[in-house]
Structure 1
Amino acid sequence: MSTIAGDICFDKVRKEYGRVTALEQLDLQVAAGKRLVLLGPSGCGKTTALRLIAGLERVTSGKLYLNGQLANDLEPGERNVAMVFQNYALYPHMTVWDNIAFGLQVRRVAKEEIKARIKAALAILGLEGLEERRPRELSGGQRQRVALARAIVKQAPYFLLDEPLSNLDAQLRTQARTELVRLHCKLNSTMIYVTHDQVEAMTIGQRIAILASGVLQQVDTPENIYNCPANTFVARFIGNPPMNLLPGIVKGNQLFLGEGLKLTVPGNWSAWILGKSPNKEIKVIMGLRPESVILKEEKIAEGECLPVKIIWRENCGKERLYYLAAGNKELIASFSESRAEPRGGELWLAINWNKVHFFNKEDGNSLGYPWNAQKLSLNAGVIP
Structure 2
Amino acid sequence: MSSPPNMSTTTTLQASPTGIRMITPKSTEEDTRLNQVIAQVVSFIQTNLCEVDKLTLNTGLDIEDSPRLIRVLDAYGVRYFYHGSILVIMGACPLNSVINTLVLNILDQRSTILPHELCPYFSSYRAGILCSGTIKGKGVRPQLRIKIPDDSITFHHPGKHTIYDTIMIEVAFSESRGDLHREMLQYFEHYRPAQLAILVKIEEDLSSRTPRTDPGFRDRAAQLLLRFGNDLGKEIHATYLENSAHDTSVRPEPFTDDEILEQIQVEDWIGTIAADVEVWDLMHSEPRLRGSRTRLFPTPDRNSVPYIYAGDMIPLALHDSFPNLNVSQRLAIDTDLLCMRMAALIPRFACWRAINFFSPEDEDEDMDYNADDDEGEE
TM-score interval, normalised by the smaller of the two chains: under 0.3
TM-score (norm 2): 0.24
In terms of fraction of residues, the more strand-rich structure is 1
